[in-house]
Structure 1
C-alpha cells in the first residue's frame, strides 16, 4: 500500500511537471527567431501576401500568443498534437513512427554502457593501483572527452571504408529487405555502431563510479565477514559488494537519461538513424513548431518515466529503502 501511495504521488508530480513542460516549450519555441510561414513560402519558391496570410490562418498563427497557447493545451488534452508544417501529416503519427527507433538506440546504449562500465569498474577496483586500473582510467576518460559526433565519424570511417564489416547507415538494409528473424538480426547489426558511439560517453562515468564505490564497499565489515566465512570471491564481489555499489550507478542512469536524448540527436544524424533525434534536427531547420514541441514533450515523458523507474529500482536493490518506507 505504501508503494502505491508513493507511486501515486510521483505520478501526480509528473503530471504537474509535464504541464509546465508544455507551457515552457510553447513559449520558448514561439518567441524564438524565425517564422515557419516564411520557411514554407521559401520552399515554395516564394508566395504572395494573400498566400502567406492564408497559411497563417490555416496553422492558427494569425491569433495572439495567449490564444495559440490555450488552443494548443486544449488540443493536447484531447490527444491532438497538431499537424506538421513540413512533413504534412499528423504529428502523433510521426512520433509513433520515430519513437521505437530512438528507444532501441537509447536502451541498447544504456545497457551497453552500464554493463561494460560496471564490469570495468569492478575489475579495476580489485587492484586500484594496478596497471589495468590505470589503463581503464585513461581509456574511459578519453572516451568521455571525445565529442560524440567526432567518435561517430571516426567509427563511420573505420567500419565504412577501412574495415567494412558493419553497416553504417540507416536502421535496416533497404536494398535487400529481410523478414522475420532475419530482419531482427539485420536491425541489431545496424544498431551496433550507433549504440556503441553513444555508450562510449557514459562508459567512463559508470566505470569511475563503480570503481570508487566498489573500493569503498570492499573495505566494509560485511564483505570481510563474507570472506572470513570462506565464500568464493565471485560470490563476495557480485552478490554482496556489487549490489550496494550499484545504487549510485542506478541514480546516475536515471539522471543521465536526458543527456542520452541530447546525444541521440547527433548520433542519429551521423548514422542516418530514423529516430526522434533526427526528427528534432529536421524540425529545427524547418521551424516545424508542432513537431518540435511534441518531440520535446515526449522526450520529457521518457525522462520522467526513467526517473520514476529509477526510484522503484532503488527499492528492489536496497532493502533498507523498503524498510524505511514501511
Structure 2
C-alpha cells in the first residue's frame, strides 16, 4: 500500500509539471500582450518604459527560457508577481482561497448529502411520486446553465421575496464581529452555494439512485432479507455502503469542476473568491495571476483524486490491501 501511494505521488508530480507546461504554452500563444494591457491602464508609455517592463517580467526572453524560469520559480513556491496588482500571486490566491473553498465545500456537501438521500429514497420506492420527482429535478438540473439558475434564484429569493442578499460576502454597511459576522457570511453564502449545488445535486441523486437499484438487486441483499434482517439495516448498513462508492468517487473527481464552475457563480454574485479573481485576470491580461490560479486549481484536483483513493479504500475493505 505504501509503494502504491508513492507511485501515485510521483505520477501526481509529473502530471502537475505537464499541466504547468501546457497552461504556460496556451497562454503564451493566446492573442494579446500583458505589457500592452498595463500600458493601456497607465494611459500610455514611452518605448523605453515598455522595453523595461518587458524585461522586468521576462517577456523579452525566448519562450524556452521563459518556461524554464517559470517552472524553476514554481518549484520554489514563487508564482510570480501580478502585472495588474503589482503583488505576489501567492498572496492574492491566499486572500481569495478561503472564500472559494467555503463556497465550493458547502455546495459539494449540500449536493452530496441531499442528492444521496433523495437517490436512496427514490430507489426504495421506485414507482412513487418522489421517484418521478427526483427524475424531473435531475433533468432540470442537468439542463439549466449555472448562471441562469443563479439569476432565477436572485429574482425569486432576493427581488420578488427579499430574503437573501444579492451579492458580496458580507454586508458593507455593517461592521460586524464574532458570531454576528459568521451569521452574516452564512446569510450571503446561501444563494451562491445553492446555485452551485443545484447541478451537482441532480447528478448525485441520479447516480445514487441507479447505484442503489443495482445493489438492491444483488444476491447478498436478498440473502440478508431472507435472514429476516430489518429493512432499515438492509438498506443503510448493507446496501448503502456499497451503493455510495461511485458517489464518493465522482465527488472527488468533480471537486475540480466545482472550482471551475465557481467562476461563473462568483461572477454572478460578486463573491470575492478565486473565480472572480480569475475572471478579472482574463480581462486585464494578468498572465502570472491567471497561471497561478490554474496551477492551484490543478493541484486541488490532483490532491482530491489522491484523497478520493484513500477514502475509497476506507469505505470498501475489499481493496484496502491492493
TM over 0.5: yes
- Quick one: which of 172, 175, 178 aligns to 2:176? 178
Q: 2:38 aligns with which of 37, 40, 44?
A: 40
Q: What is the aligned counterpart of 2:314 among 306, 316, 320?
A: 316
Query: After the TM superposition, which of the residue ranges 22-31 and 176-185 deviates more from structure 2?
Result: 176-185
Counterpart CA distance in 2 for 1:309 and 1:8 is 13
Candidates 238, 241, 254, aligned match of 1:243: 241
- Shift of residue 34 of structure 1? 0.5
Partner of 2:265: 267
Please state how far the C-alpha of 1:237 moved relative to its aligned partner: 1.2
- Tell me, in whole angstroms, the C-alpha distance in 2 between the residues paired with 1:97 and 1:195: 19
Secondary structure in structure 2 of the residue aligned to 1:87? coil
3-state SS of 1:173 partner: coil
Partner of 1:305: 303
Shift of 1:161: 1.2
Residue 57 (structure 1) aligns with: 55
SS of equivalent residue, structure 2 residue 244: helix
Aligned match of 2:95: 97
1:25 is displaced (CA, Å) by 1.0
Structure 1 residue 304: Cα displacement: 0.5
- TM-score by length of structure 2 reads 0.96
Deviation at 1:258, TM superposition (A): 2.3
- The residue number in structure 2 matching 1:169 is 167
1:38-75 Cα distance to aligned partner (Å, 9 max, x none): 11111111222222112112211111111111111121
Equivalents in 2 of 1:80, 1:213: separation in Å?
44
1:286 corresponds to: 284
Q: How does 1:1-326 map to 2 (within 5 A)?
A: 2=1, 4-323=2-321, 325=322
C-alpha distance in 1 between matches for 2:302 and 2:262? 17
Deviates most, 243-252 or 176-185? 176-185
Deviation at 1:95, TM superposition (A): 0.6
3-state secondary structure, aligned to 2:320: helix
Unaligned runs of 5+ in 2: none
Distance in 1 (alpha carbons) for counterparts of 2:237 and 2:182: 34
> TM-score, normalized by length of structure 1?
0.95
Give unmatched runs, 5+ long, in structure 1: none
> Deviations along 1:190-237, whole A, 9 cap, x unmatched?
111111101111111111111111111112222223333333322221
Number of residue pairs matched?
A: 322
- The separation in 2 between residues aligned to 1:115 and 1:15, in whole angstroms, is 32
TM superposition outliers: structure 1 runs of 4+ over 6 Å: none
SS in 1 for 2:242: helix
CA distance, structure 2, for counterparts of residue 172 and residue 99 of structure 1: 16
Partner SS, residue 83 of structure 1: coil
Provide, for residues 48-107 of structure 1, a one-character-per-residue CA deviation record: whole Å limited to 9, x for no partner.
222211211221111111111111112112211111011121100001001111111111
